[in-house]
Amino acid sequence: MKIHRLRLQHVKGVRDAEIDLPDTGVVVLEGPNEAGKSTFLEALDRLLDPKAKAHSKAAAIVALQPVGEDVGPFVEAELSIGPYRLIFSKRWLRQSATVLRVLEPVTEQHSGEAAQERMTAIVGECLDRPLFEALRFAQAGPSSQIRLADSSVLTQALDSAAGADLHSDGGTDLLLAVESEYTRYFTAVSGRPTGDLRTAMVACTQAQDAVAEAHRRLLEAEDLVRDRDAVAADVDASQKALPVLREKQARVAEEVAQGQRLRDHEQEASRAYAAALQQRQRAETDLGARQRLVAEVKERDDRVVAQARQCAERAGAAQQALEELRLATTLLEVAKQACAEGQTDADAGAAKVAQLQALSEVAVLEQRAESADALSRRWAKSVGVLQAAVVSSRVLRDIEQSEQRLAVATAAMEGGATTVTVHALRRDLPVNLDGEQHTLELDHEPLEYQVVRSTELTLDESVRIQIRPHADVQRRADQCDSMRDDLAGRLAAVGAADAEHARELGEDHRRAAAEVAEVERLLSVALAGYADLGELRQHLQERREWLQQWAREQPSCADETDPGVGPSVGSSCPRADLDAARHGALVSQRRLGPLRTARDQAEDAVGAAREVESAASRAHDVIKAEHSEAGAELRLLRTRLDEARDGLSDLDLAQALSRAQETERATKTEHDTLVGQIRRSGADDAAERLRRVHADHSRATAHLESLTGQFHELKGRLEMTAGEGRQEEHERAGQLFAEAKRSLASVGRRARAARQLHLTLRRHRESAHASYVTPYAREIERLGRTMYGSSFGVRVSSDLTITHRELGGVLVAFEQLSGGAQEQLGILARLAVAVLVDTESAVPVVIDDALGYTDPDRLQRLGSVLGEASPGSQIVLLTCTPQRYEAIPGAHILSIPA
């Protein structure tokens, strides 16, 4: 941002005033106290504030109105912000108006709310607010330190200086938002839960404890009810069980005697059933084996018949496939012969085209070789001229920098030097100044001399005056002499009388370099595709030799290649011959395509026929082998069946199985009848049941007495808990716990997300800030050494604030420095930022009534620093004592009347 012009009407004590500021350099805005210097800056702030709209009546706007006057404050500014140059004005309180005129890059006209919105968009897009506010310095301000870590423009400049790329637009706002969100849930130092998260955790823990206690009490009451009901049921069951047990004792004793008689009969029936079962199983096995053998003989017989039929079918298919293979082979031979003839024609046409193209290429290469040879000679001549021009751009730049440094040093020296003026009070006054004789005349110009070294002045041979300048002025004079000698040495090295002559010699060097570059460009075009002229000539010779070799190897084409008949090697061929040859080759090539296709199709057909014939033969052999094997197996099975039937026929086996099954059924029926009788009688466990019934009766009597006592005890305890309302208490605690868990889960998700984002961004921010410290500190030290000397140094923290100053090997913390030293470091920091920031994104450096605690010597040195930092920056100094800034070279002085 640059301020070109500011105009104020009826703003506080300023009636109507306008100032025009240069785009770069130092501007000293001087005037007495309460003349309105700071009012210009305050008015600019209100003008650029998007909240200070024309219709606003905020306290800050009302404060702009002159005391005791009913008028509307008016502010107009012509500014450059990024790529925009514009004029923006506002009038508040009376006849409110907002007008915006964009002059560059495209003309725009806006008024009213649209003007405010457009201006807000331009400022938001192109102006770094933190940097704009940080580069102001006021002696009455709270601290000389500046907050720079939030400036995206400075961080981008430091990115470039540090060789990094660690920031993006809007990064500062994101960091602040994440930090604010993080501290809602965790402490900033230790990271322990706090705020919303701790409150939710405590509430959830308390609610969980309350639910657990209420649930325990409810379960306790429910256990009492269940225990009482269970004991009551046990008492009732025990009372009913005693008579039953007594009846059961008598009944079980009778069952024991009857069961023993039935068990004896069941054992005899079981032995008979086992024998019948074994006989039936042997009969089933024999009959099943005979039936499987008969079925297998039938299945093998059917398979042999089917395989005989398939063998005949596949033999016919194999014969047909063989005939088709023979036909396809004959067609393939015909296609190959036709393709070979077409290939011969195509090769002849291609050879003809290649020969004619080579003749044309040789002619072109010869022309390019001649052109490149001429350009090479021209290049050698231009290089000779360039080598004779000794003042290169680098040498000229060094000379101009030496000249500029000498001018700055001379201005600094003259600004601190003492001027001696000698006036004549009578005629013919002889004066000797450092051995040089002068004669002063009355009423003539006095003799003036700037004292930069020890000087001796003798007046009329009766008075001798020794004048010694300040040591710093003499040091600067020595520096000027050294710089003057350096400049003279550089000029003498190149044979230049002065800097202007050196610039003329530099222009000769530039023209010679341009000529060399142009010849190199033309030579590069002529050698396109080749490394140098030798490679081009070698390729030309290779093409000539190829044509001669081709002529020897192609005697049939002698009418075109024989030097005595057709075009010679190195001559160009007619375009019509080449086109005709290409057309003939193209026709031959097109004819060759269908022939190749027909040949390929014939080859594919032979391959397919061969595969079909091979498959048919293999299939016939396979089925023939399978038929032979199946016949042998069938004969073997028939032999086995005949031998088995000679021993027992199929009918004999079926009748034996029928008899065994009948015997099995009879014995099983008898056995099952006895087993059923035993099971129904319960004879198996009658004795054991009788013993258990006796034991059960004794235990039931003792258990009934114990249960009766337990029932009365539980009944009393349950009556005590019935009136406590434990169920309602449990429901209320559960609802509160569910709400606390939902709240904790929601807060926990937000807290974890905020912590993760905070840790990630903080890690990247610390890494970025660590890389920024070096270029920022280096620039402060470069400027500060002009003011403090070569022993000056600073220590800078990761947030870009100065923590210590080093001078003469002594390191002092910033807070322990004097007010003047802190003020000087604050100004150096702002100037360093102005130098680092890119010109397109720069903002004015504003120093308001500062340096009141700085001694005169350092004031003069600071003037040199301001002059050094100002060439690409806009620096505005507001002061009521302009003498503080007299040492600034090239400063613009603007006065504001009281």
- Residue 215 CA to residue 688 CA, distance in Å, equals 48
Please check the confidence at residue 524 and state whether its pLDDT lies above 90. Answer: no
Q: At what angle do helices 393-416 and 499-526 cross, to 10 degrees?
A: 160
Give the model confidence (pLDDT) of 269-316 as tens digits.
Answer: 888 888 888 888 888 888 888 788 888 888 888 878 887 787 777 777
**pTM (predicted TM-score):** 0.39
Mean pLDDT of the chain: 78
| Per-residue pLDDT at 559 exceeds 50 | no
Question: What pLDDT shows up at residue 148?
Answer: 59
List CB contacts of 713: < 8 A, sequence separation 6 or more.
none
Contacts 24+ apart (CB under 8 A), 91-100: 91/54, 92/52, 92/54, 92/56, 92/61, 92/64, 92/65, 93/57, 93/61, 93/62, 93/65, 94/70, 96/54, 96/55, 96/72, 97/54, 98/53, 98/54
pLDDT band at 76 (very low <50, low <70, confident <90, very high): very high
Amino acid identity, position 532: D
Measured between alpha carbons, how far is 508 from 638 in angstroms, rounded to an integer?
Answer: 122
Across the range 843-855, mean pLDDT stands at: 73
Lowest mean pLDDT among 324-328, 331-335, 562-566, 650-654: 562-566
- Contacts with 707 (C-beta within 8 Å, 6 or more apart), sequence order: 231, 234, 235, 238
Nearest to 770 by CA among 315, 166, 354, 241: 166
Flag whether pLDDT at 97 surpasses 90. yes
Task: Identify which has the larger pLDDT, 44 or 692.
Answer: 44
The least confident of 157-166, 472-481, 677-686 is: 157-166
pLDDT at residue 650 is higher than 70: yes
Does residue 192 sit in helix, strand or coil? coil
Q: With cut-offs at 50, 70 and 90, classify the pLDDT of residue 117.
A: very high
Q: Assess whether pLDDT exceeds 70 at residue 33.
A: yes
- pLDDT for 111 equals 93
At residue 651, does pLDDT exceed 90? no
How confident is the model at residue 107, as a pLDDT?
92
pLDDT at residue 101, as a whole number:
95
Helices (H), 433-574: 471-494, 499-526, 533-553, 558-561
Q: What integer pLDDT is reported at residue 279 of this predicted model?
A: 84
Residue 716 has pLDDT above 90, yes or no: no
pLDDT band at 850, cuts 50/70/90? low
Residue 138, beta-bridge partner list: 848
Helix spans in 389-498 (H): 393-416, 471-494
For 272, phi then psi, to 5°, come to -65, -40
CB of 469 closer than 8 Å to CB of 452: yes
Say what the pLDDT of residue 852 is. 55
Closest CA to 802 of 845, 831, 773, 765: 773
765, β-bridge pairs: none
Q: What pLDDT is attached to residue 140?
A: 47
pLDDT tens string 129-188 = 777 777 777 654 554 566 655 555 555 555 544 444 444 455 556 766 777 787 888 887
Average pLDDT over residues 821-827: 83
Helix residue ranges per DSSP H, 417-498: 471-494
Crossing angle, helix 575-647 and helix 195-388, to 10 degrees?
Answer: 140
Instruction: Please state, in angstroms and rounded to a whole number, the distance separating the CA atoms of residues 768 and 158.
Output: 9
pLDDT band at 693 (very low <50, low <70, confident <90, very high): confident
Quote the percentage of the chain above a pLDDT of 90. 7
Residue 760 burial (CB count, 10 A): 11
Nearest to 836 by CA among 155, 21, 163: 155
Report whether 496 contacts 502 (CB < 8 A). Answer: yes
Query: What tens digit of pLDDT does each residue of 575-630 get?
Result: 666 667 666 667 666 777 777 787 777 778 777 777 887 887 887 778 778 778 87
CA distances from 813 to 140, 772, 785, 822, 825 (A): 22, 21, 18, 10, 12
- Residue 299 Cα distances to 289, 624, 634, 663, angstroms: 15, 18, 9, 35
Name the more confident of 504 and 168: 504
Q: Which residue has the higher pLDDT, 642 or 98?
A: 98
Lowest mean pLDDT among 249-258, 311-320, 369-378, 790-799: 249-258
Given a cut of 90, is residue 86 above it in pLDDT? yes
* Lookup: tokens for 842: 């720069």
Q: Give the mean model confidence (pLDDT) for residues 338-367.
A: 70
pLDDT surpasses 80 at 57:
yes
Q: Which of 482, 478, 480, 513 is nearest to 395 (CA)?
A: 513
Mean pLDDT on 112-137: 84
Single out the residue of 137, 154, 249, 246 nearest to residue 691, CA to CA: 249
Question: What is residue 768's predicted lDDT score, i.e. its pLDDT?
Answer: 59
Comparing 102-111, 354-363, 407-416, 803-812, the range with the smallest average pLDDT is: 354-363
Confidence band for 89, pLDDT divided at 50, 70 and 90: very high
pLDDT for position 152:
54
Q: Which pLDDT does position 77 carry in this prediction?
A: 94
